[in-house]
């Protein structure tokens, strides 16, 4: 099986590649949040919407920094499968998405060497987290979520790398709550996410990393092998 890599493209956005299949989670590639809510980007988009060539695009919920209504219409969507909660289907259809499968809690799909499973999230709109299984590695992306006891059941998933929101505003757990969840789920590595995009809604990742035994700060737009991240343990 090809080596798995992961690249943080900002906010809750990630690219996962294994040389054969590419999965994109929550690509925010425009300035739509600034246009609609006057919240400008702190970092530039790593590439244009037209340059995205993923096999699968996962949108964890129907907010503009996760369902980018300025970027998605520009993507070459003919060969892209979009997975998102049913709540986001109408918005995605309006963006020109024709290949859509519902990704509500419990849904699971296999694409190439990946198994993608939607798991519980507690947000202000219907939302999911994502479990990604690839070979013998399990990744958990919290998406946007408040701390909730139901999240603790994910401990049975034996998570290797956990990507957890830390911003503590607008329906997301704080850094301290992310630490609490990390301690319960006990991943091999914890990685903070969902910060550094909007000045009004960010956090210092050190508040999370300083409190856990095995954390990793992923730099923006740098591709890491999963083996490299796990070697940090």
Q: What is the pLDDT of residue 136?
A: 95
- Long-range own/partner contacts, residues 48-53 (CB < 8 A, 24 or more apart): 48/74, 49/74, 49/75, 50/74, 50/75, 50/76, 52/24, 52/27, 52/76, 53/22
**Predicted confidence band at 2 (pLDDT cuts at 50, 70, 90)?**
confident
Position 133 pLDDT exceeds 80: yes
> By the 8 A CB rule, do 56 and 24 touch?
yes
HSE-CB of 119 using CA atoms within 13 angstroms: 23
Outline where the chain has alpha helix (H): 32-37, 89-94, 175-185, 206-209, 226-230
**Predicted confidence band at 1 (pLDDT cuts at 50, 70, 90)?**
low
**Which pLDDT tens digit goes with each residue over 21-37?**
999 999 999 999 999 99
DSSP string computed for 67-92: S-TTTGGGS-GGGPEEEE-GGGHHHH
**Which pLDDT tens digit goes with each residue over 58-88?**
999 999 999 999 999 999 999 999 999 999 9
HSE-CB of 48 using CA atoms within 13 angstroms: 6
218-232 average pLDDT score: 94
**Which pLDDT tens digit goes with each residue over 82-127?**
999 999 999 999 999 999 999 999 999 999 999 999 999 999 999 9
**Which pLDDT tens digit goes with each residue over 164-197?**
999 999 999 999 999 999 999 999 999 999 999 9
> By the 8 A CB rule, do 101 and 76 touch?
no
Q: What is the pLDDT of residue 27?
A: 98
Q: What is the pLDDT of residue 83?
A: 98
**Predicted confidence band at 232 (pLDDT cuts at 50, 70, 90)?**
confident
What percentage of the chain carries pLDDT values higher than 70?
100
Q: What is the pLDDT of residue 154?
A: 98
């Amino acid at each position: 099986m090809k080596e798995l890599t992961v690249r943080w493209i900002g906010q809750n956005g990630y690219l996962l590649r294994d040389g054969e299949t590419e999965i994109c989670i929550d690509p925010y590639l425009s300035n739509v949040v600034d246009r609609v809510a006057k919240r400008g980007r702190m970092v530039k988009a790593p590439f244009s919407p037209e340059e995205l060539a993923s096999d699968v695009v996962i949108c964890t919920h129907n907010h503009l920094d996760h369902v980018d209504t300025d970027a998605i219409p520009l993507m070459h969507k003919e060969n892209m499968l979009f997975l998102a909660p049913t709540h986001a289907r109408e918005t995605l259809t309006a963006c020109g998405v024709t290949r859509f499968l519902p990704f509500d809690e419990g849904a699971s799909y296999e694409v190439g060497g990946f198994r993608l499973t939607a798991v519980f999230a507690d947000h202000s709109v219907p939302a999911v987290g994502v479990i990604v299984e690839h070979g013998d590695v399990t990744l958990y992306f919290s998406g946007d979520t408040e701390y909730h006891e139901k999240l603790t059941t994910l401990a049975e998933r034996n998570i290797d790398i956990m990507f957890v929101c830390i911003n503590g505003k607008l329906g997301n757990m704080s850094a301290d709550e992310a630490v609490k969840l990390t301690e319960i789920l006990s991943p091999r590595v914890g990685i903070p996410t969902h910060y550094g995009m909007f000045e009004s809604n960010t956090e210092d990742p050190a508040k999370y990393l300083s409190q856990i035994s095995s954390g990793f700060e992923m730099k923006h737009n740098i591709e890491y092998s999963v083996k490299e991240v796990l070697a940090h343990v």
